[in-house]
């Protein structure tokens, strides 16, 4: 029986609707949540992401503003901008779009963001809150994955989970969230011995490595829930054939566009997994939905409504 498809678009729409309702209630008391996005230079991919974030703010009712320093900006100039946004009370969330130009000290910039406004959840203070199970802001992608799992009724307590990838943005916080939900967690990476064997033990497998179709059926226990975080653009015909041979719909897309999107999980896995997230339409939509949710949460926590802190 083919895997159940976990529809990220549907779950993201639910979360955005909940955020919109919360914004409406807060705005009625004169407190409208606000998000500032800092986009340096002209990176086309970053521009697309930021456009999506600003559009989502409009839809949900969050006040948003975009700051666009030039590509030649210095670390000091960006620190001044962040300090100004930290001071402004109508700004509840600050998001610095990565990557930053090479002359800018990215770590210094991220560290300068007020942890109470750190809607990306990257600040060491928020990382510490997550690891000690205190209320704080959690990175959007792992937080979104938890929403997919919980809202789809996937059992977490007592289950074996494997996370492939140990980045600060996805892998590590994902492992911590699963651990906090009482799963038994293994974090896998490039030095893991017998990676397929380790992954095959998992009831829940999260792939966040950034390599097209690397997770094949030998990695997956039959019936497991597979979460595909990858978003890779395939342009090589040989690579396309390895992933999608015989898939007429994908072949048509590849012919007309010269590329196709694929996750870190090989499409063949859908034949043995119990449930799987598609690419596109799986984890991606949740990332922006959780940014909206985090901005609302930051506004509530900053403005003294601590009942919302543990939502």
Per-residue pLDDT at 305: 58
41 to 74, 81, 98: CA distances (angstroms): 12, 15, 11
The answer to whether 249 is a known catalytic residue is: no
Catalytic residue (one of 53, 117, 172, 300): 53
Query: In angstroms, rounded to a whole number, what is the distance separating the alpha carbons of residues 102 and 63?
Result: 30
Which of 92, 97, 114, 203 is catalytic? The answer is 97
| pLDDT score for 308 | 41
Model's pTM, two decimal places? 0.93
| Mean pLDDT of the 168-186 span | 97
3-class DSSP state for residue 227?
A: strand
Residues of the chain with CATH 3.40.50.10860: 27-132
Q: Which helix (H) or strand (E) holds 201?
A: none
Rounded-to-integer distance, Cα 65 and Cα 102, Å: 25
Say if residue 193's pLDDT is above 70.
Answer: yes
- Look over the chain and give the mean of its residue pLDDT values, rounded to a whole number: 94
pLDDT tens digits along 246-266 = 899 999 999 999 999 999 999
Phi, psi of 142 (to 5 degrees): -60, -40
Q: Can 120 be counted among the known catalytic residues?
A: yes
SS3 311: coil
Taking the C-alpha atoms of residue 267 and residue 103, their distance in angstroms, rounded to an integer, is 40
* Angle of CA points 95, 97, 103, to nearest 5°: 120
As a whole number of Å, the CA-based R_g of the chain is 20
Select 27-132's CATH number: 3.40.50.10860, 3.40.309.10, 3.20.20.70, 3.40.50.280: 3.40.50.10860
Q: How far is CA 148 from the centre of its chain?
A: 12
pLDDT of residue 93: 98
Instruction: Answer whether 136's CB lies under 8 Å from 162's CB.
Output: no
CB proximity list for 223: less than 8 A, separation 6 or greater: 272, 273, 274
The CATH number for 140-286, chosen from 3.40.50.720, 3.30.365.10, 3.40.50.450, 2.40.50.140, is: 3.40.50.720
Structure tokens at 152: 């789809």
Residues of the chain with CATH 3.40.50.720: 140-286
Q: Is the pLDDT of residue 309 over 70?
A: no
Point out the catalytic residue in the list 92, 114, 118, 120.
Answer: 120
Q: Which 3-state string (H, E, C) describes 33-85?
A: CEEEEECCCCCHHHHHHHHHHHHHHHHHCCEEEEECCCCCCCHHHHHHHHHHH
73-107 pLDDT, tens digit per residue, is 999 999 999 999 999 999 999 999 999 999 999 99
Mean pLDDT of 23-42: 94
């Amino acid at each position: 029986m083919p895997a159940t498809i976990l529809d990220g678009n549907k779950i993201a729409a639910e979360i955005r609707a909940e955020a919109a309702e919360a914004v409406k209630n807060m705005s009625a008391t004169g407190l409208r949540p606000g998000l500032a996005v800092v986009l340096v230079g002209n990176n086309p991919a970053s521009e697309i992401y930021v456009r999506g974030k600003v559009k989502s703010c409009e839809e949900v009712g969050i006040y948003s503003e975009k700051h666009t320093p030039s590509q030649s900006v210095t670390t000091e100039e960006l620190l001044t901008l962040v300090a100004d946004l930290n001071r402004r009370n109508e700004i509840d969330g600050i998001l610095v779009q990565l990557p930053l130009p090479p002359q800018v000290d990215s770590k210094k910039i991220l560290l300068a963001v007020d942890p109470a406004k750190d809607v990306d959840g990257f600040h060491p203070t928020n990382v510490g809150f997550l690891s000690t199970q205190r209320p704080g802001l959690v990175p959007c992608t792992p937080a979104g994955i938890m929403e997919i799992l919980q809202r789809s009724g996937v059992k977490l307590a007592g289950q074996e989970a494997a996370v492939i990838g140990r980045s600060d943005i996805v892998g590590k916080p994902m492992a911590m969230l699963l651990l906090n939900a009482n799963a038994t967690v293994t974090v896998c990476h490039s030095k893991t011995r017998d990676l397929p064997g380790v992954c095959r033990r998992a009831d829940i497998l999260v792939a966040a490595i950034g390599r097209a179709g690397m997770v094949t059926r030998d990695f997956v226990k039959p019936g497991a829930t597979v979460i595909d975080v990858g978003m890779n653009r395939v342009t090589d015909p040989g690579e396309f054939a390895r992933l999608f041979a015989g898939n007429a719909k994908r072949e048509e897309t590849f012919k007309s566009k010269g590329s196709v999107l694929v996750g870190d999980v090989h499409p063949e896995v859908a034949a043995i997994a119990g449930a799987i997230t598609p690419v596109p339409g799986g984890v991606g939509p949740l990332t922006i939905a959780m940014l909206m949710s985090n901005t609302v949460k930051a506004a509530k926590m900053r403005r003294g409504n601590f009942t919302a802190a543990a939502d």
